[in-house]
Amino acid sequence: MTAPIIRSLAELRALTRIWHSAGETIGVVPTMGALHQGHLSLVRVAKDACARVIVTIFVNPKQFNNAQDLENYPRTEHDDARKLASLNVDVIYVPDGDQMYPDDFATNVSVSGLTNMLCGAARPGHFDGVATVVTKLFLQTQADKAFFGEKDFQQLQVVTRLAADLDIPIEVVGCPTIREEDGLAMSSRNLLLSDRSRIKAPLLAEVMNDIAKALNDGLLMADIVPDATARLLAAGFNDVDYLELRDGGDLTLLDRMKPNARLFGAAWLAGVRLIDNIAV
Ligand code: AMP
């Protein structure tokens, strides 16, 4: 059965009040829509862990540092609702832009440290936008648990930090990255790839897996990254934002294999920015 779509905060609050007073746990899965199996895997984990599940769909303008990227972002609400129908979510919350950010909106949530590297360095203001909207969604849904993908690993760390720092009583749960058969991490942005680019896209994951192997053989990042970057560019990627090894906890930069190391990559392919990360 198709879950009801709620667009007003008042309606959402009326429901969550009833659920909480009945002692039911509430889970939230924040998304920007254009749902794929990666999103649906979070919903399944949420359904297993919580009596009630809210999926939010909001293409958050504050986290886009590029107007064209915001305009091009796929919007597929009807299909999204259809995909969620078989998963028995309780509500799809699709707030209006002016309800989220009225004209006099003046607050910014900013997490320092974790955000000045990787996607934070490549996309100025992006994580302030994420932190601000996620804080609002946590407070609006009053959820007990929130489910985020490791696909956006830095985002997962940022969101975990802000919930702890702001004493928001919510447990942030990280869920594994879901991939296409050819290894490409699922992403709404993959819809923007032409057929030709889609064939090239899995090379990012392939190159990252090869880097992981070389690190495990004892090589240093400095020895590996120039060739890995050249491979991506030779295959038709336009630019590589980063290929970096970092600690999977505090994201400090590493030059070689260490326990809990994680490899992060971001590269541009025909105007689409692809990101990925893997445990090494
Ligand atoms: P987005 O709609 O891209 O903002 O993503 C919404 C949530 O889905 C975030 O927590 C993402 O990390 C998660 N997500 C996106 N792609 C994947 C994937 N391939 N596997 C697992 N989670 C994902």
Q: For 153-200, what is the HEC assignment? A: HHHHHHHHHHHHHCCCCCEEEEECCCECCCCCECCHHHHHCCHHHHHH
Task: Residue 275: name the closest of 126, 54, 72, 59 by CA.
Answer: 126
Q: Which residue has its alpha carbon closest to ligand 1 atom 6?
A: 31
Q: Can you give the pTM of this predicted structure? A: 0.98
User: pLDDT class for 2, splitting at 50, 70, 90?
Assistant: confident
Ligand 1 centre to CA of 85 (Å) is 19
Bridge partners for 28 per DSSP: 54, 146
The tens digit of pLDDT for each residue in 63-102 reads 998 999 999 999 999 999 999 999 999 999 999 999 999 9
User: What is the mean pLDDT of the segment spanning 38-57?
Assistant: 98
User: What's the confidence (pLDDT) of residue 85?
Assistant: 94
Ligand 1 centre to CA of 167 (Å) is 24
3-state secondary structure at position 49: helix
**36 catalytically annotated:** no
What single DSSP character describes residue 2?
P
Tell me which of 20, 39, 78, 126 is the catalytic residue.
39
Ligand 1 centre to CA of 183 (Å) is 16
Judge if the beta carbon of residue 178 lies within 6 A of ligand 1. Answer: yes
The tens digit of pLDDT for each residue in 115-160 reads 999 999 999 999 999 999 999 999 999 999 999 999 999 999 999 9
CB atoms closer than 10 angstroms to residue 224: 21
Q: Which residue has its alpha carbon closest to ligand 1 atom 19?
A: 186
Ligand 1 centre to CA of 101 (Å) is 23
The tens digit of pLDDT for each residue in 218-258 reads 999 999 999 999 999 999 999 999 999 999 999 999 999 99
Judge if the beta carbon of residue 27 lies within 6 A of ligand 1. Answer: no
What's the whole-number average pLDDT of the chain? 97
Burial of 216 (0-12, 13-18, 19+ CB in 10 A): exposed
Interhelix angle 153-165/126-141, rounded to 10 degrees, is 60
The tens digit of pLDDT for each residue in 156-195 reads 999 999 999 999 999 999 999 999 999 999 999 999 999 9
Exposed e or buried b per residue across 28-38, where buried means at least 16 C-beta atoms within 10 angstroms of its C-beta: bbbbbbbbbeb
CA of 134: how far to CAs of 143, 206, 244, 270, in Å? 12, 32, 26, 30
User: What's the confidence (pLDDT) of residue 1?
Assistant: 77
Judge if the beta carbon of residue 186 lies within 6 A of ligand 1. Answer: yes
Task: Residue 274: name the closest of 183, 174, 158 by CA.
Answer: 183
Judge if the beta carbon of residue 80 lies within 6 A of ligand 1. Answer: no
Contact 34, 75 (CB under 8 A): yes
Judge if the beta carbon of residue 190 lies within 6 A of ligand 1. Answer: no
149, two tokens = 């993908």
Could you give the CA distance from residue 211 to residue 135 in angstroms, rounded to a whole number?
36
The one-letter amino acid at 30: P
Q: Which residue has its alpha carbon closest to ligand 1 atom 18?
A: 38
Distance, C-alpha 108 to centroid of its chain: 19
